[in-house]
Amino acid sequence: MKFSLTFAFASAHFFAVAQAGEVTVAVAANFTAPMQKIAQAFERDTGHKPKLAFGATGKFYAQIKNGAPFALLLAADDVTPARLEKEGLAVAGTRFTYATGRLALWSKQLNLVDDKGEVLRSNRFNKLAIADPKLAPYGIAAMELINKLGVQANVVPKLVQGESIGQTYQFVSTENAQLGFVALSQISFDGRITHGSAWVVPQSMHTPLEQDAVLLNAGKDNSAAHALLKYLQADKAKTIIRQYGYAL
């Protein structure tokens, strides 16, 4: 009996490994840290191997339109996945909101950023980094906020643009810009700002950053892609997503 059970277990494990596949995923840059953790857990739990690419949602849209073989898109908005679905480049009925992001004004310097963003009206900074609004939804949100606060005259001459929110974070973390609008997920964990000073922007001050995932045509027959979409909606992934400050 012992031999039979061991053999059965070994056979089941071999079958699972044999059935494991790869899935290529385009991931919005703001979701880098949580997605890396989710991918590790997913591979441990399923045997499937995610191959992750991080960048600006707008850039991914252009690449997918030009035939890039991504199986899944985890966008920084809900508009791009819906557009791909409408254009016949994504599988209808697979789109869902995996997270709602938060925008933050951040500096690597302690005490530079106050809890109301009044620093934007001051002369205490030379450069303010934002993600390119033409490519990145977080950049659009940042510009909406700047306009709502009425600080265009002070801020716009100091703007430097990153291609994605990832590049924007790099500008501030290397102090090439004293301030920057970044994703809360890049600077916090378990509800605490991990370094520097920050203002978490109220969600009412810009269009909600509802982030949708969708199965692309290249992943239609990919079992690993289907498995990852399901995994993103499971409790283990949701716990990780919440740890980085996203709402669900």
Residues 109 and 130 in one domain: yes
Residues 230 and 111 in one domain: no
- Residues 145-170: tens digit of each pLDDT: 999 999 999 999 999 999 999 999 99
Average pLDDT over residues 104-113: 97
**Which amino acid is residue 12, in one-letter code?**
A
Average pLDDT over residues 65-71: 97
124: CATH: 3.40.190.10
| Mean pLDDT for all residues in the chain | 93
The answer to whether residue 9 sits within a structural domain is: no
Residues 200 and 111 in one domain: yes
- Residues 1-60: tens digit of each pLDDT: 444 444 444 444 444 444 679 999 999 999 999 999 999 999 999 999 999 999 999 999
Distance (Å, whole) CA 237 – CA 121: 39
Residues 183 and 117 in one domain: yes
Residues 30 and 106 in one domain: no
- Residues 129-148: tens digit of each pLDDT: 999 999 999 999 999 999 99
The answer to whether residue 248 sits within a structural domain is: no
Specify the pLDDT at position 77: 97
Residues 84 and 110 in one domain: no
Q: How many domains does the chain have?
A: 2
Residues 181 and 238 in one domain: no
Residues 197 and 233 in one domain: no
Strands 188-189 and 22-28: unpaired
Residues 140 and 226 in one domain: no
Could you tell me where the beta strands, DSSP code E, fall in the chain? 22-28, 49-55, 72-74, 96-101, 103-107, 128-131, 159-162, 179-183, 188-189, 192-193, 197-200, 209-215
Residues 148 and 229 in one domain: no
The answer to whether residue 11 sits within a structural domain is: no
The answer to whether residue 163 sits within a structural domain is: yes
The answer to whether residue 2 sits within a structural domain is: no
Q: At residue 213, does pLDDT exceed 50?
A: yes
Residues 165 and 221 in one domain: no
- Residues 214-226: tens digit of each pLDDT: 999 999 999 999 9
Q: What is the dihedral of CA 55, 61, 63, 67, to 10 degrees?
A: 140
* Contacts for 147 with CB less than 8 Å, ≥ 6 apart: none
- For residue 124, give its domain range: 102-205
Picking from 28, 48, 78, 27, the residue whose alpha carbon sits closest to that of residue 228 is 48
Residues 130 and 161 in one domain: yes
